[in-house]
Chains A and B, each alone.
Chain A
C-alpha cells in the first residue's frame, strides 16, 4: 500500500507547522477572511493526515509503529526518530482535532493581530504532536520545551488583564522543571554509552540511587506540567488570563504532555524508583483529587473553577498511573483523552458566555437558559461529562481508575470514589447558578443564543464525548497491548 510508505508522522508534525508559518509570516490583519480560510484549511488538513494512523494501526503489534529514523546530529548520536504505540496514538489525533476546534473558536473573537494568533496555534499543534511521537530523548525535550514559546506569546499577547504575570509564571515554572529533566536526560545519555534513544534507556540497568535521582528530575518536569499538587499554582493563573483558545489547548493537550512523560520516561526508565515512590505519588494525586476538588467548589470565577477541576481530573490520571495495574493505567489514559474533550468543551462554553457578557464571575450570571436554550443544553451535557456521568466519556476513565484503586487498597478506591461526589458537586452547582433560575439581570435577558459556528464546534466535541462514553472499545483496544507491555516492563527490576 502506498499509504504505509509515507512518513505519516512527519507529515502530521510538520503540516501544521508549515501552515502556521505561512499564516504567521504572510497573513495580513487587514485581510482577515483570507487568514481565517488559510488557518482552517491548515488545521483541517493537519487533522485529516492523522486519520490514516488510526486505520493503519495494528492493535496486536508490540513496540512502536510508523517508525521513522534518521541521523540528525551525529556528534551526539541524536536521531530524528518518531514512532507511536497504543499510548501515544490517540493524543496525536486529539491534538490535531482540538486545533481545528481552536481555529473555529477564534474565528471572530480575536480582533488584534489575528494572523499571529492563528499562526501561533498551528505551530503549537505541530510541536505538541512532535512531543507525543518523539522516540529520541533529546528530540522529545526539544519539542516539549519549544511548546512553551507559542503558549507564552498566546497568553501574553491575547490574554486578560493580568496576562504578563500569568505568562511569566507559566514559562518560568515549567522551564525550571524542564531544566532539571535536561540534566537527567544528559545523565542517561552518558550512562547508556552515548545514546539518546528512549528504548535503549528503557533497557538500561541503573542502580537504585541513580534511579531515584532521575525519577525526581523527571518528576520536576512532569509534575509541573500535569500539574500535580503542590506545584499546580501556575495553572489557575494561566487559565484565567489566557484567551479561550489558549485555555482549551492548555487543558486539553499541554497538561497531557506531562502525564504522557510519566508513561514514556519515568515508569519504564526507572521502574524500581517508580515502585518505591508509588505511595508518595498516589498520596499527591489523592490530595489533588480531594483538596483541589474542594478548592474548586468555592471559586467565584467560572474559568478558575474549571481550571481547578482540571487539576483534580489530572489527579485521577496520575493516580491511575501509579496504581501500576493494567486497569488503573488504562483508566488514566482514558481519563486523559476524555478530559481533553470535556475540558476543551467547558472552556469553550465559558468563552461563549464571556464573549457576550465580558465577565466570568458566576454571580453575574443566572437563568441563562431562558435566553440561550441551545447553549444551555450543551453546557449541562458537558457538565455532566465533567462529573463523570455514565454514558459520557468522563465515566469510563474515572470508573476504571477507581476500580484499579480498589484492587490495590479498598480505601484508595473509596477515597477516589468520594472525590467523584465532589466533582458532581462543583459541576452541578455551577450549572445551577449559571444556567437555571430566573435571569439574574437585564444583560442576561438580552443574550443571543449560539450561532452556527459555535454550534458546530460544540457539537463536534459533544459527538466525541458521547461516542467515547458509549463505545470506548476502539480506543481501549488499541492501547491494551502497549499498556500490558509497559506494565510487564515496569514489573522487572533494573537495579544491579
Chain B
C-alpha cells in the first residue's frame, strides 16, 4: 500500500473518522446540547467537500487506488459534491423536527440520526467510487443498513416499524439478486474488476447466455435500489411510514449513488452488452412512468404522492440511461448519460426542497402529511407557498424551471437514437404527472386556509436554506448551461479513461 491510495480515499477517511468521533461525543452530550452533534456533522460534510474539491482539481484524469478497486474521477467528484450538499441540506431541514420529536418521545431521535445519516453517506460514496463488484456491493450494504436503521428509528411508531421491516426484507432480497447476478458475471468473465469484466465481455469467446442471465439479476437488483417498477413496492410504504427527515434521506442522495452504480456496472463494466440491458431499462422506464404518474393521482398523503412521483421521475431518468448506444454506435453515449446525470442531480435538488417544505409545516405533534394540510398556504406563509410552487412546477417540467431542462436533455437523448414513440410516451405521462403537481399549487393558492390554522414559524436556518433551494431551482432554470456541461464533461472524461 502506498501513499496515493490513502490520498484518493481522503474524503471517505475523513467521513469515517468524523462519524465515529461524532458518535462518541454524542454519547456524552445531554439532550439539550444535541445542536453540537448537528454542527459537527455539518463541519464533517464541509471537510469532505473541501477534500473532494481539492482532489478533483487536477486535469480531470481518473485516479485509481487499491489495485483498481476504487476510483476518483470527475463523475465521482461531481456526484459526491452534490451528495454532501444534499445530506447537509437534509440535516438542516430536519433539525427542528428531530429536536421536537426526540424530546417528545424520550430521545429516540437524537444523535443517532446524524451519525447514521453520515454512515449512509459513506456507503453512497463507496458506491459512487467503486470499481469492483465487491466494493460496490459493500457500499450498497453500508448505505442500506444505515437506512434500514434510520427508518426504524421511531421504534414506538407502528407504521415506521412496518416500513422498516418491508424495506429490510425486500432490500435483502434485492441484495441477493444483485449478488447472484454478480456471481454469474464472475463465472462468465473470471473477474470482479469492472475493467477486466468489460474486457472479457467484449471478447468473442465470452458466454453470452450466462452474461445476459447475470445482467437480468443485476438490473433487477439495481432497479430495486432506484425504485423502478416492478421493483417499487417498498417506495411508497417507506416514504409514508418513515419519519419525514428519514424519508428525505432515503429519497434524495441515494438516487445519486444509484445512478453512479448504473454507470459503473452497466456502462463501464458491461457496455458491450448495452443492447441487452438497454431493452430492460426501456421496459422499466415505461412501466415506472406509467404506474408512478397514474397512481400518484389518487394519493391523499403527500409523502406517498412524492413516492409515486419519484418512481415516475426515476423512470424518466432511465430513459436517458437507455439511449446511450444505438446499433453499436457509442458516439452519443456521453451526451445521453450526461443528461441522465443532470436529471438525477436536479431531481434530487428539487425533491429535497419539497421535503423541506413538509418539514417546515410540521409542528410539535402535527405532521403536515395530508394534502389538505397545504390548503391556503399562500395566505399563511406566502414565501413557503412560493418555494413549493417553484418546486412542483420544476417536477412537472414546466419552463423556466430547471426540471424542464432535465426533461429536455433526456428527451433530446431519446430522440437522438430515434426512439420517437418512447419520447411521445414520456411527454404524455408527464402530462398526467402535471396534474398532481398542479393540485398542490391549487391547494396552496386557490383554496382558503382551514379555520383554526396556526401561524407557521420556522428557525432562520431552515427558512434560509429552503429559500436558497427554491431560488436554485429558478436560477438553474435561467442558467442551466454550466451544470449541464459539467455533467456531460464529467461523464465524457469518465468514459474516456
Q: Which residues of A contact B (CB under 8 A)?
A: 72-76, 113, 116, 138, 141-143, 145-146, 148-149, 152-153, 156-157, 163-164, 167-168, 171-172, 175-176, 179-180, 182-183, 186-187, 189-190
- Return chain A residues, CB-CB under 8 Å to B379: 113
8 A Cβ contacts from B470-497 to A:
480-481, 484-485, 488
Pick 16 A–B contacts, CB within 8 A, sort by A: A72-B481, A75-B485, A76-B409, A76-B412, A141-B399, A142-B399, A143-B399, A168-B442, A171-B438, A172-B431, A176-B431, A179-B428, A179-B431, A182-B427, A183-B411, A189-B412
Alpha-carbon separation in the docked complex, A386 to B423 (Å): 43
How many residues of chain B get a CB closer than 8 Å to chain A's CBs?
34
Check if B404 is an interface residue, CB within 8 A of chain A: yes
Alpha-carbon separation in the docked complex, A143 to B484 (Å): 20
Q: With contacts A75-B481, A145-B399, A183-B411 known, is A164 near B446, CB below 8 A? A: yes
Alpha-carbon separation in the docked complex, A176 to B411 (Å): 16
Check if B415 is an interface residue, CB within 8 A of chain A: yes
Q: Find out whether the CB atom of A157 lies under 8 angstroms from the CB atom of B446.
A: yes
8 A Cβ contacts from B371-416 to A:
378-379, 382, 393, 398-400, 404-405, 408-409, 411-412, 415-416
Q: Find out whether the CB atom of B400 lies under 8 angstroms from the CB atom of A175.
A: no
Q: With contacts A152-B438, A183-B420 known, is A157 near B399, CB below 8 A? A: no
Check if B50 is an interface residue, CB within 8 A of chain A: no
Closest partner residue, chain A, to B416 (CB atom): A190
Q: With contacts A145-B399, A146-B400, A186-B415 known, is A167 near B446, CB below 8 A? A: yes
Q: Find out whether the CB atom of A73 lies under 8 angstroms from the CB atom of B442.
A: no
Q: Find out whether the CB atom of A171 lies under 8 angstroms from the CB atom of B434.
A: yes
- Return chain A residues, CB-CB under 8 Å to B408: 76, 138, 182, 186
Min CB–CB distance B62 → chain A (angstroms): 22
Q: Find out whether the CB atom of A190 lies under 8 angstroms from the CB atom of B446.
A: no
Min CB–CB distance B326 → chain A (angstroms): 12
Which of A72, A116, A183 has the most CB atoms of chain B within a 10 A radius of its CB? Answer: A183
Min CB–CB distance B289 → chain A (angstroms): 13
8 A Cβ contacts from B427-457 to A:
427-428, 430-431, 434-435, 438, 441-442, 445-446
- Return chain A residues, CB-CB under 8 Å to B420: 183, 187
Alpha-carbon separation in the docked complex, A172 to B441 (Å): 14
8 A Cβ contacts from B347-390 to A:
378-379, 382
Q: Which residues of B contact A (CB under 8 A)?
A: 378-379, 382, 393, 398-400, 404-405, 408-409, 411-412, 415-416, 420, 423-424, 427-428, 430-431, 434-435, 438, 441-442, 445-446, 480-481, 484-485, 488
- Return chain B residues, CB-CB under 8 Å to A190: 412, 415-416
Q: Find out whether the CB atom of B412 lies under 8 angstroms from the CB atom of A186.
A: yes
Q: Find out whether the CB atom of B400 lies under 8 angstroms from the CB atom of A73.
A: no
Q: With contacts A113-B378, A152-B438, A186-B411 known, is A73 near B484, CB below 8 A? A: yes
Alpha-carbon separation in the docked complex, A176 to B432 (Å): 9
Min CB–CB distance B327 → chain A (angstroms): 16
Min CB–CB distance A493 → chain B (angstroms): 24
Q: Which of B416, B428, B446 contacts A156 (CB 8 A)?
A: B446
- Return chain A residues, CB-CB under 8 Å to B485: 74-75
Q: Find out whether the CB atom of A74 lies under 8 angstroms from the CB atom of B481.
A: yes
Q: Which of B428, B446, B488 contacts A163 (CB 8 A)?
A: B446
Min CB–CB distance B423 → chain A (angstroms): 5
Q: Find out whether the CB atom of A168 lies under 8 angstroms from the CB atom of B435.
A: yes
- Return chain B residues, CB-CB under 8 Å to A167: 442, 446
Q: Find out whether the CB atom of A187 lies under 8 angstroms from the CB atom of B442.
A: no
- Return chain B residues, CB-CB under 8 Å to A186: 408, 411-412, 415, 423
Alpha-carbon separation in the docked complex, A145 to B408 (Å): 13
Q: Find out whether the CB atom of A142 lies under 8 angstroms from the CB atom of B400.
A: yes
Q: Find out whether the CB atom of B399 lies under 8 angstroms from the CB atom of A146.
A: yes
- Return chain B residues, CB-CB under 8 Å to A163: 446
Alpha-carbon separation in the docked complex, A168 to B424 (Å): 22
- Return chain B residues, CB-CB under 8 Å to A180: 424, 427
Closest partner residue, chain B, to A74 (CB atom): B481
Q: Which of A75, A138, A189 contacts B484 (CB 8 A)?
A: A75
Chain A binding surface SS class: helix
Q: Find out whether the CB atom of B431 lies under 8 angstroms from the CB atom of A146.
A: no
Q: With contacts A157-B445, A167-B442 known, is A182 near B398, CB below 8 A? A: no
Closest partner residue, chain B, to A73 (CB atom): B481
Q: With contacts A157-B446, A164-B442 known, is A75 near B411, CB below 8 A? A: no
The 3 A-B pairs at the shortest CB distance, nearest first, are namely A179-B427, A142-B399, A73-B481
- Return chain B residues, CB-CB under 8 Å to A157: 378, 445-446
Q: Find out whether the CB atom of A73 lies under 8 angstroms from the CB atom of B446.
A: no
- Return chain B residues, CB-CB under 8 Å to A152: 438, 441
Alpha-carbon separation in the docked complex, A153 to B442 (Å): 8
Alpha-carbon separation in the docked complex, A413 to B303 (Å): 59
Min CB–CB distance A420 → chain B (angstroms): 38
Alpha-carbon separation in the docked complex, A179 to B434 (Å): 11
Q: Find out whether the CB atom of B423 lies under 8 angstroms from the CB atom of A183.
A: yes
Min CB–CB distance B473 → chain A (angstroms): 13
Q: Find out whether the CB atom of B438 lies under 8 angstroms from the CB atom of A168.
A: yes
Closest partner residue, chain A, to B483 (CB atom): A75
Q: Find out whether the CB atom of B411 lies under 8 angstroms from the CB atom of A182.
A: yes
Q: Find out whether the CB atom of A156 lies under 8 angstroms from the CB atom of B442.
A: yes
Q: Find out whether the CB atom of B434 lies under 8 angstroms from the CB atom of A142.
A: no
Q: With contacts A156-B446, A172-B435, A182-B411 known, is A148 near B398, CB below 8 A? A: yes
Alpha-carbon separation in the docked complex, A141 to B481 (Å): 17
Q: Which of A75, A148, A171 contacts B488 (CB 8 A)?
A: A75
Alpha-carbon separation in the docked complex, A113 to B435 (Å): 25
Closest partner residue, chain A, to B435 (CB atom): A172
Min CB–CB distance A175 → chain B (angstroms): 6
9 additional contacts, CB 8 Å, given A145-B399, A149-B398, A172-B434? A113-B378, A116-B378, A141-B399, A142-B404, A145-B404, A152-B441, A163-B446, A180-B427, A190-B415
Q: With contacts A146-B400, A172-B431, A179-B427 known, is A187 near B415, CB below 8 A? A: yes
Alpha-carbon separation in the docked complex, A168 to B405 (Å): 23
Closest partner residue, chain A, to B339 (CB atom): A75
- Return chain A residues, CB-CB under 8 Å to B405: 73
- Return chain B residues, CB-CB under 8 Å to A73: 405, 480-481, 484
Min CB–CB distance A219 → chain B (angstroms): 15
Alpha-carbon separation in the docked complex, A116 to B446 (Å): 13
Closest partner residue, chain B, to A141 (CB atom): B399
Alpha-carbon separation in the docked complex, A214 to B424 (Å): 13
Min CB–CB distance B33 → chain A (angstroms): 38
Closest partner residue, chain B, to A148 (CB atom): B398
Which of B420, B445, B446 has the most CB atoms of chain A within a 10 A radius of its CB? Answer: B446
- Return chain B residues, CB-CB under 8 Å to A168: 435, 438, 442
- Return chain B residues, CB-CB under 8 Å to A74: 481, 485
- Return chain A residues, CB-CB under 8 Å to B484: 73, 75-76
Alpha-carbon separation in the docked complex, A157 to B379 (Å): 11
Min CB–CB distance A424 → chain B (angstroms): 39
Min CB–CB distance A190 → chain B (angstroms): 6
Alpha-carbon separation in the docked complex, A73 to B420 (Å): 24
Alpha-carbon separation in the docked complex, A186 to B319 (Å): 16
Min CB–CB distance B245 → chain A (angstroms): 29
Closest partner residue, chain B, to A153 (CB atom): B445
Q: Which of B382, B398, B445, B488 contacts A146 (CB 8 A)?
A: B398
- Return chain A residues, CB-CB under 8 Å to B411: 182-183, 186
Closest partner residue, chain A, to B439 (CB atom): A168
Alpha-carbon separation in the docked complex, A143 to B310 (Å): 27
Alpha-carbon separation in the docked complex, A166 to B408 (Å): 28
